[in-house]
Structures are given as C-alpha cells and as structure tokens.
Structure 1
Amino acid sequence: MQRFRFVRKLGRGTHGTAYLLRSTDGTDKMLVCKSVSIPYKAYAQQEIKILSMLSHRRTIKLIESFSTHSGISIILEYLNHGTLAETISYLVNRRHRATNYLIWSVMAQIADALLYLHHMQIAHRDVKPSNIFVNMVLIGSQGVLEFKLGDFGLAKMCSQILPGDVVGTPYYMAPEVISREAYNNSVDVWGLGVSLYELSVLGKPFYGSSKDELYSSILHASIQSSSICSNKNLDFLIRKCIMKINRISIQTLCKNKTLKYHLRILDYELHNSYE
C-alpha cells in the first residue's frame, strides 16, 4: 500500500469498508480501496472474478486486488459524487423532486450497463441506489453526471444461478427471488425499476413493518403511487420494469427512442469533455 496514501474512510457496507486513497506515483489520482475481511472472502473473490471480465464505461473499473493479513483489498476507480442513494437523500432533505432529465439519465446509463452485463450472461442481483455510483464531470461551467454500476459481490453467471438462491437487498428483491422460483437476469431490471421509482417518488414502491410483510407486499400488493412521474413515457417504462409478470427485457428497454437520445447526448458531451 506504499503506492497509495490514505485520505479518508468513505463508508462501511455488508461485506467490507471502503477507503479513499490518493496515488503516490505523481499523478495524484484518487482511488477507492474496498477492504473485505476474511469471513467475506468468497464475496470479494467473486467480485474480483466478475470485475476482471468487464470492460464498459458504465461499470466500475477494477484497478487491482491483493491479499492482506486481514482479508482482501480491491482497488477500484473513484467517482467523485457519491451514490444515487445519497442523491435521493439530498432531494428528500431539501424537499425537491428529481427532474425528468435526471431520471432519464439514470435510466439510460444503468440500462446500458445492464445490457452489457446481460450480453455477457451476468446477473448483478443487487441493483439499488447505493450500488449506483455518481461522477460529476465539469464541461465549462456546467456539470454532467455520469452513473456507473458497482458492487459486484453478489453477481453471478446466469448459468450458475440456482432456484431458491435468495440474495440481494429486501426492498429491491424481485418477486421471483422472494418466492424461491427459478430466475434470471431479469431481476436486475426489477432492481433498476425500483431504484428509478424511488428517485422519482422519493419513497419505496412496497413497504412492510417486518421482512415478511415487505415480502408479502412485493409479491401481492400494487405499487404505492398512482403517478410515478410527470413524463408519460418515463412513467410507463418504470412501471414496465417493476411488472411482476411480463416485465420488460433490458434489450427492449434500451431500444426506447428517448432513452437512446439521452444516451447519445451524454456520450457526445463526455466525448467533448475528455478531448
């Protein structure tokens, strides 16, 4: 770790603690060290395995990994604007609503990441706001937000997923996971839909005072809000993502003309900013 200097602790997750580091090679590049303790070593190894297979601008990039006396350290690219969960908390605290542009931007970028993963036959299995990372890119005096999918500790090749393999975060679990049915990477579309609902409404689509009540709500109840957002196309797509039956596929979602337009505009802006 002599090549890196500790800056600050970023936070603690289920499987480890994240630290912000600064490279000492003269570039001053900021990086994230995800320190995973020995009891969760299998999750770290799985994440490293999956990340090493990926090469896409909308998934968090693996820099390197190594073993330590206390577990495994994973060095990842750093995004400077926190997570989508923090963005949602910011909006809630200030009683602001997310703009349609922001919702489209998140949908377009994370759907693009999932399209890539699903083409690779990988299921993330824990798509949620705290696993969507945000980067602010300055273009002149304006800021453009990049969104990338991270935390692949629960990700798995689709061929290795077994019926009854209940993993994920309860609020974002798809009905077929909860009911222990056979499932595939469509559960990621559900997680994206719930995340977009939360960004739009600033609340969850399903609630329960206990885990059992929450699961029952996800399995049987209708979503809480009758109107998710003011844009009818956006509202329609989010609803299609959280359909219990006949859920939209990531391939169909990514063919939406407005979604593709937002992706083209973003890519054009980012391309110009990096020139």
Structure 2
Amino acid sequence: MHLLEFGAVTDCGPVRSVNEDSILAAPPVFVVADGVGGSADGEVASAIVVEEFGRLAEQPVIDADRVSATIQAAHTRVWEHNAGRPHGASSTAVGAVGVLSGDEPYWVVFNVGDSRIYRLGVATPEASDRTLSQISVDHSHVQELVDAEVITADQATTHPDRNLVTRAIGAEEEVEADFWLIPMVPGDRLLICSDGLLAVSDPDLQRALSGDAGAERTAADLLQAALAAETTDNVSVIVIDVVARGTADRTATPQSEELTSVQPHPAAAESS
C-alpha cells in the first residue's frame, strides 16, 4: 500500500483582512474550500465544507458514494445557514480522496467552483520531463468564455470577471460537482489550491513542483511565491506525494500517512 507525504498551508494574503479559505489534510482526505469573495460569511461556508470532510476522514469505510454524500451534506448545511439571510454564504470545494478499487488505490477527485487540482505525473521512457496537468475544470464565467472561444486562456487571467464562479456550495438550491477517478501512482504529485495561488504562472508552478524538495517544503515555497507575486486573494496550498512503501525518492516530511481506511467503489464514478 502506498504512503502519502503532504504539506498544507493557508494564508490571508497581503490584501484581505479575513481568510475565507479552509483546508483539510487528513489522509486519505484532502480538501481546499474557498469562501466565495464578497459573500457574507464566506469563511463560515468554507469551514462547514472542511468540517463535513473531516467527518468523512474519520469513517472506517470511504468510497465514491460517501464522497458525493459529503458534498451534499456540506451543501445542505450551508443552504440552511443561509435561510432568511439576504446575502448568503457559499464556498468552492476541490479535493482528492483515496479509495481502493479491488486491490488498487485510486483518487476520487471532485470540484465545485474555481479552486483547482493539478497532477504532476511521473517521468516515463517516452517522456523524460514530468508533465503538469490541470485535472479540475473551473466553474467560472471566464472559463465559459474560454470554452466558447470568446477570449483566450491568457486573457482569462486578467479578465474583470475572473472571480465570478458559476457553481458553489450553498449558492443555489441544488449543487452539482464534477468527479474524476484517477490511479494513485507512486511518484505522482498532486497540487490542490485556491485561486489565490494563480498569481504564480504555470511555468513557475511546474518548476516548483518538479524540484527535489519534499511536499511540506514545496507547499510553503508555493505560498511564498504567491505572496511575492502580490496575489490579491487568500492563498491555500496542499501538495501530496504518492510514495511506494520503503522507496521514497524525496526527503521525507513529518507529515506522512499510509493509505488504509478505504474500500472498493463502483467504477461508474470514473467521470462526471
């Protein structure tokens, strides 16, 4: 069974007076929730999200259905919190939860909103360079414009509506999350982050994640890079390394956990 080494940090950032981000790193459950900017009690909504996933992390059996149910439970609590309030709370939620399918470990990856999860794959004989790819797809107005070829991806980074999300937990009566099922491969590295990290360019993300530092140091370095880039938002970063038992090729961090509390789940959860 694989080991998971990780680092997790969150910061208010240089502009905001309140940190509306909440994070959870409780193997095999990793979540970043970002209270939607400008909404009342955004920090309350994000805290509810991680509280519900904290309960999931304590369960003896974790599968894809329980991940979906946890999102719904968080949504229900935030929606009920908003009852009678003229401006309700809401939150994005993105994360990865380790499960077993048969004897093989997988990640159930989920997303609601514009926080992101990336994967840095292992080098192969065909590709000696490790490739950084974004797993999640933003639920945002600018992503819709990019998809419609109205603007480019580069233009989206400076668009005035770049912070306008189209899905969030607690924002509407119903919530719809995207799901992916991906193999948990030794040597892979995951990055889960709020959009405050996106002040750091993709090439700089690639360089930081491809370095020799362990997960804990890399998460701290990425946070400092976002602050140096003068991000205007809260910043949350979780970096997770998948390490085969006894064959760690990175400097071990104090934060490591063996993946044990998981059970098989249906392959039907493979895509949204």
Q: What TM-score do the two structures reach when normalised by structure 1?
A: 0.29
Q: Where is the strand percentage greater, Structure 1 or Structure 2?
A: 2
Give the structure, 1 or 2, with the largest relative contact order (CA under 8 Å, sep 6 or more): 2
Larger Rg: 1
Name the structure with the higher helix share: 1
